[in-house]
Amino acid sequence: MDLNWLALSYHSVGVFAANLISVILTIFLLSKKNKTPTTWWLAMMFLGYSFMLFGYVMAYSVNASWGAYHRFFTSCAMFGNAGMIGFAYTFPRLDQPKEAKIAIPLSFTLLLVTFTDFVYTGSRLEIIYNFTAHFYTFDYGAQHAIALLLTQIFPLTILIRKTIRYSAYDGFFSKWISKPVSPSGYPMFLLSRFCVGWIKFINPKGEDAKACKSFVKAIIIFLFIAALNVLNKSGIVTYDLYAFGFSNVTLVICFYFVITYLNNSPEPTTFMVKLVGVSLVTVLLVLGFVGNITLSLSEEEYDNQKRTEILGSKPFLLNKQYDQVAEDIEYIIRKPVDSDSFSKNLKIEYNRHPDQLNIERVLSEQKKVQDFALKELLTEILKKNGRSLKTNTPTQGEEDEALSRFSKTKAYGNLNSSSQNDLNRLYRTADKRYTHFDFIMKNVKYEVGFSYDEYRKHTHRNTIKLIYIIFSTSLLILIIFPRFFHSSLVKPLNDLLSGVTKVNEGNLEIQVPIKVQDEIGYLAGSFNSMVYSIKEARKELEDYAVNLEKKVKERTREVQEKMDEVQKLKIQQDGDYFLTSLLAKPLFFNANKSKLVPTEFVIHQKKKFEFKSKTADLGGDICITGTLKFGKPEDYKTYIMTLNGDAMGKSMQGAGGALVMGVVINAIMSRSASNKKVLDMKPEEWLTDIYYEVNSVFKSFNGTMVISATVLLIEEKSGEMFYFNAEHPATILYRDGKASFIEQELLLRKLGQESEFAFQVYKYQLEPGDIIILGSDGRDDINLTPNSKTRTINEDEFAILRTIEKTKGNIFKMEEALKEIGEITDDLSFLRVDFHRQEIREEIQNIQEEPISSKFEHEELEMRDDEDSLLDITEVYRQSKQLYQEGQVNEALAVLTKAHSVEPTNQKLNKLFGLMSFKGKDYATAVEVINHYLQMDPDTEEMWYYLSLSQKKMGRYLSSLEASKRVYQLHPDNINNLVNLSDLNRLTGNYDEAKVLSEKALELDPENQNARKILKYLEKA
């Protein structure tokens, strides 16, 4: 068979390797079972590119004119682009079906029309030979190169959109990416959408988004080739550069696409396919690069060989001894030094085959090259002159103008760049094709020509060897690698997988064979050891199953003994807690009786526990209030003392500190205020004395017990306030609906510590309506992330001010308000002082605080026996009842007070004592006794009601409101309490709630005058 037409060029190696990869990948994709639409489109893409690459293999290998028709194969890249568009729409899933239904058929139709036009037009054009590319072609296709570029940009935009769509984002711009309600929000909305889109594309989150971006990268590499093709067709880039870039970058593209597909395949892919595929592509990539380098060296070898022949023939050329020049030299042409590719001043000095070459043929072919190069410029010039190149011959002036303009273009520079240097390989056509090397000698340029066919044969000899190597290597990898990987990797893994399956089925006798002590062998050995351990464990379990009942009983007995021991310790500990709690509670006493400056406090210790069905709490927070008189007996001022403290430590340690503080402060208050005592000293002196006294007590514990505290003295008429703050949270002033701190810096260290600050009593002036709120550091120590593994403690000291403003200073609502922010992590206490509260105008007259039940009062006045009592309770009841019925309430209270001092824990006595204190208008005693009673028996509805009324009489409206709410929980339809609760809501400014409660009372009792009075007032408010 005559194969003279077969002459491989050095560009053949790279495109052959790339074509081989694309064909193998196409076959692999088409051979897959149960293919998804994504796989079909990807197979179509690689099939189209396989035809394209085959066209380039044909172009670089066929040294005959019919090789020009390789262009029809290379144009099949359009169908590859159509497959790429379909792949982009369906990978990883089809989420724009309507758009795809239009775009895919439309793009396929346009590309088919473009391909048909290319084939039809190209088949009618004159075939020319491109020396820089070393193949036959025809001058057509720049427009189609642009079409190829655009149809690669389109799938790129689809995959970029999908990357952005699939990527998650929760960053800075999140709050602005939702569509705004008002037009003013659109600028920020559009800016945020733009920035978020870029962020999602640059740093995608999510597997689908990352997979889409991987293929975006692959298409961007494709675009490099498409753009290079457009530049080449436009004459901006030489074909040598384009061919080199195409062959090498195509190898990179195939490699990257295979890796990307295997990593993000929408269908299951075996481990073997990944191993062999990556190995094949890697080897072919390396061989392609090595082949290009090898052939470049072969080209250099050819050039050096011809240069040597020329240099050896130079002396004979100068002496015109042409019979002595090298036999490979076909001709020698003499021309001016400044001649270019279109120069006509040529003279043939030597011609080995005169019948094949003459000056007319040389100039004729040169004219064809010139006309081809100037075609576009001549068309433009003749059109400007009102003529057409197809029907008119250009004048000499028009040709000179075109040549002048062409000499300034990049294409002209590319065409003549090599001829400017001595002995560079150039090409010439004169019926036959030649290579030639120019050199200058004695101000004359000589052109020495050689046979172009010999050059191609030289290249072919080396290229065909590399093609054989690439092809045979591919076969070896496809045949040998699967066998090697199967025996050394896949089979051991399958054996291991089979062993896992059998173990899952319950077979523990399996042993995975170990053939080679490599990583897989080590894994198999570890698996065998694990199976052995499981088998031994099963034997032990079977033994346990046989003797289970005996072992369970034995273990249950041991556990029960431990649990009993733990429970005893727990009961003992809770008993200690309960005793400490009982000792501490009476010390936290709101003894202030002033109506001008009422005080209320709430304490919620962090430690909660139960002891003998009683719930209690324990902690280090403490609140105490009282009344002191300063001056002379005939001229004194009344001051309200308030203390809020927080002892160091948790649970028992903190409770110990609070207990010590309570004892000391109550002792000081007892000696300072007992028997209506008037202190002949200044309030500042009294505060100074108690600071040093308390500080010395706590210092005696040598730093193991310290306490922070704020102590206030407020003159009940003028609002003059004296205080000191021993490292306690800042005092809060609530004035006109705004909360602020009184202290702005640390003034004193905790009690029990050495302080670098000198002790000082500070002064502040209150205004009518002011509210002072003291609180422990539990108000700030809020865990903002209670559901997170790591705690985030609030560091905003001003958060408490916003909370107080939200609750309007209601300390009983503070805990719930703080829980809305986060989790309370410490003891929590608040103490509120109202100075000359702005009372709501009392337009409701004669609202009667009626007994919750007359039967209850009657029963409490009945005589009864108490066998457990140390006193004769019957006698106490008889005396107090008789005195009460005779109107001697104070005498009755005296009897009960004496009895209470003997038995303060007798609940029956406390109930009667609390009721009598209320009837005798000794509301402070009533509050104290009833509070103590309710600690032991918290479900007595009537006592909560009397506690509410007593606190209301003392002006403690918030405390009264909380007690009334407890009655409402126990008995929602109690009419008297509904009226009381409605009135308390009115007094605290909760008009809506007050109205609802009064209306409910009227539903139950339409003739209730108190409820009507409240509603009448609320209508005016």
Q: What is the pLDDT of residues 725-741, one digit of tens each?
A: 999 999 999 999 999 99
C-alpha distances in angstroms, 704 versus 135, 415, 646, 652, 982? 97, 96, 14, 13, 49
Q: What is the mean pLDDT of residues 389-406?
A: 77
* Element spanning 989, H or E: none
Q: Is 260's pLDDT higher than 50?
A: yes
What is the DSSP-derived secondary structure letter of residue 591? -
Q: What percent of the chain shows pLDDT beyond 70? A: 92
Q: Which one is predicted more confidently, 861 or 989?
A: 989
Longest dimension (CA), the chain: 163
Q: Which one is predicted more confidently, 581 or 846?
A: 581
Give all strands of the β-sheet with 425-430 in edge-to-edge order.
Answer: 347-351, 329-335, 444-451, 432-441, 425-430
What is the DSSP-derived secondary structure letter of residue 637? E
Q: What is the mean pLDDT of residues 561-566?
A: 82
What is the DSSP-derived secondary structure letter of residue 675? G
Number of helices (H) and strands (E), helices first, in the chain? 31, 21
Q: What is the mean pLDDT of residues 633-641?
A: 93
Which residues are 829's β-sheet partners?
A: 603
* Element spanning 428, H or E: strand 425-430
Q: Is 345's pLDDT higher than 60?
A: yes
**Per-residue pLDDT tens digits for 152-193:** 889 989 999 999 988 888 888 887 877 777 787 788 888 888
Report strand pairing: 738-741 vs 732-735.
antiparallel
The pLDDT confidence band at residue 341, using thresholds 50, 70 and 90, is confident
602 φ/ψ angles, rounded to the nearest 5 degrees = -135, 135
Q: What percent of the chain shows pLDDT beyond 90? A: 18
Q: Is 840's pLDDT higher than 60?
A: no
Cα–Cα–Cα angle for 14, 305, 6, rounded to 5 degrees: 40
Q: Is 613's pLDDT higher than 70?
A: no
Pick from 740, 811, 821: which is nearest to 784 by CA?
A: 821
Predicted local distance difference test score (pLDDT) of residue 843: 43
Predicted local distance difference test score (pLDDT) of residue 255: 67
Predicted local distance difference test score (pLDDT) of residue 706: 94
Q: What is the mean pLDDT of residues 92-110?
A: 89
**Roughly how many angstroms between the first and final C-alpha of the chain, as a whole number?**
116
For the ranges 126-140, 400-414, 848-862, 996-1010, the lowest mean pLDDT is seen at: 848-862
Q: Which one is predicted more confidently, 614 or 185?
A: 185
Placement of tokens 């009064």 in the chain: 998
Predicted local distance difference test score (pLDDT) of residue 235: 65
Pick from 636, 641, 637: which is nearest to 591 by CA?
A: 641
Q: Is 953's pLDDT higher than 60?
A: yes
**Per-residue pLDDT tens digits for 221-258:** 877 777 777 777 666 776 767 777 777 777 677 767 76
For the ranges 306-315, 358-367, 462-471, the lowest mean pLDDT is seen at: 358-367
For residue 782, what are its two tokens?
A: 């809020």
603 φ/ψ angles, rounded to the nearest 5 degrees = -130, 125
For residue 623, what are its two tokens?
A: 């609140």
Distance of alpha carbon 551 from the chain centroid: 51
C-alpha distances in angstroms, 421 versus 405, 426, 659? 23, 11, 105
Q: Is 719's pLDDT higher than 90?
A: yes
For residue 325, what are its two tokens?
A: 């020049």
Q: Is 421 exposed, middle or buried (0-12, 13-18, 19+ CB in 10 A)?
A: exposed
Q: What rounded mean pLDDT belongs to the chain?
A: 83
The CA dihedral of 684, 686, 692, 693, to the nearest 10 degrees, is -170
Report strand pairing: 621-632 vs 607-611.
unpaired
What is the C-alpha to C-alpha distance for residues 770 and 766, in angstroms, rounded to an integer? 6
Pick from 622, 759, 743, 588: which is nearest to 684 by CA?
A: 759
Which residues are 775's β-sheet partners?
A: 830
Map residue 35 onto helix, strand or coil. Answer: coil
Predicted local distance difference test score (pLDDT) of residue 606: 85
What is the C-alpha to C-alpha distance for residues 262 and 292, in angstroms, rounded to an integer? 27
Is 512 within 8 Å of 524 (Cβ atoms)? yes
Placement of tokens 């703080």 in the chain: 818
What is the DSSP-derived secondary structure letter of residue 181? S
Q: What is the mean pLDDT of residues 50-67?
A: 89
What is the C-alpha to C-alpha distance for residues 20 and 13, in angstroms, rounded to an integer? 11
**Per-residue pLDDT tens digits for 487-507:** 777 777 777 778 788 888 777
Predicted local distance difference test score (pLDDT) of residue 852: 53
What is the DSSP-derived secondary structure letter of residue 488? I
Q: Which one is predicted more confidently, 855 or 561?
A: 561
